[in-house]
Amino acid sequence: MLSLLVMSACSSTTGQTNTPNPSATPTPVPAATQTGSITYNMPSIADIVEEIEPAVVFISVEYVDTSFFFQTVSTKSGSGVILSPDGYILTNNHVVADARSINVVLPGDENTYTAQIIGTDSLSDLAVIKIEGENFPTAGFGDTSGLRVGDWVIAMGNALGLEGGPSVTLGIVSNLDRSFNIDNSAYYDIIQTDAAINPGNSGGPLVDLEGKVIGINTFIVTSAQNIGFAVSAHTARRVYEDLIQYAQVNRPYLGAGLQTITPAVASELGLSRDKGVLVSQIVADGPAAKAGMKTNDIIVTFQGQAVSEASQLIKLLWEYSAGDTVTLSYWRGETQDTVSITLAEWPEQS
């Protein structure tokens, strides 16, 4: 698990909201750049931006900021992406958390819409809000199964709440399947990108060159440069659909803490294997405990598929529901065993 000094890409102010002017247009990337005798072909993203920009909204949230001595009414701003013509918007949970009121502005639309929260999920830091109306411009989810490190991506959102509509930045996928914990959120399906993500970008889409949403921009590492993170559409789609249908995310519960094993972790803990998924914690009376699993067991397969990272296992696990029975193969010391576990409902739904 990574330990990061991070900052949510949510812009905060006190007593004032910056409403964007949607008239500005992004600067396209040159089609080609020549260095010496080598010509590098660069993607022009103007058409993609023109297609997606109408669905990227500015979100202004009024909330009560409580200190030891008094309370202050403050505002914070972020972004969101409209995913249905009747006004369902996916954003980050930290953008709308503790909201007293939520206002939404669309690029090119002079109206300010009042939004209501449909559901939030603190574990993935995602939320769905809704504005009333019909025939809103929309974006669609993309398929992340073929996404590769080095693919071009576009980050869109209302950086710093600046006037002029969504900001557009271009970068690449720097890494995939990052996993770490921050506060109450467990991030296991994260895309790392060097496309600039700034405060105010939270909840905006990370888009591929087909104009599809492949992530939701969420936070940046403040102690580094060009390291931003987005929740993958693989997870975001599931969360979005569950929040609309159930107002909560119905994810299965294994009852075990999971950690990717590295040679350093194996050496430190004296493990028999230096590859696999470590059971770092067992919850008493949880599904894994009832099946006989113990701390320091090393999971190597899930439903017959080899697993070597916690993020990989959890993504596979989330394809199932409470009540389903799954099979794990694991090492305990020098002995390998297989166990069937009946998944339970997550005990703390957000």
Interval 116-143: pLDDT, tens: 999 999 888 999 999 999 999 999 999 9
Interval 224-262: pLDDT, tens: 677 889 999 999 999 999 999 999 888 899 999 888 898
Interval 18-34: pLDDT, tens: 444 444 444 444 445 55
Interval 51-102: pLDDT, tens: 999 999 999 999 888 777 777 888 888 999 999 999 999 999 999 988 999 9
Interval 279-320: pLDDT, tens: 999 999 999 999 999 999 999 999 999 998 888 898 889 889
Q: What is each CA distance from 348 to 212, 242, 261, in whole angstroms?
A: 32, 15, 27
Please provide the average confidence, as pLDDT, over all residues in the chain. 84
Residues 174-200, mean pLDDT to the nearest whole number: 78
Question: Which DSSP helix (H) or strand (E) runs through 332?
Answer: strand 325-332
Q: What pLDDT is recorded for position 17?
A: 39
**253 contacts 322 by C-beta, under 8 angstroms:** yes
* Range 17-42 burial, b when 16+ CB lie within 10 A, else e: bbebebeeebebbeeeeeeeeeeeee
* Residue-range domains of the chain with CATH: 1-249 (2.40.10.120), 252-345 (2.30.42.10)
Pairing of strands 152-157, 205-207: antiparallel
**239 contacts 88 by C-beta, under 8 angstroms:** no
- Closest to 188 measured CA to CA, from 300, 312, 9: 312
Adjacent-strand bridge partners of 40: 33
Judge if pTM exceeds 0.85: no
* Residue 44 to residue 51: CA distance in whole angstroms: 13
**30 contacts 46 by C-beta, under 8 angstroms:** no
Residues serving a catalytic function are: 94, 125, 202
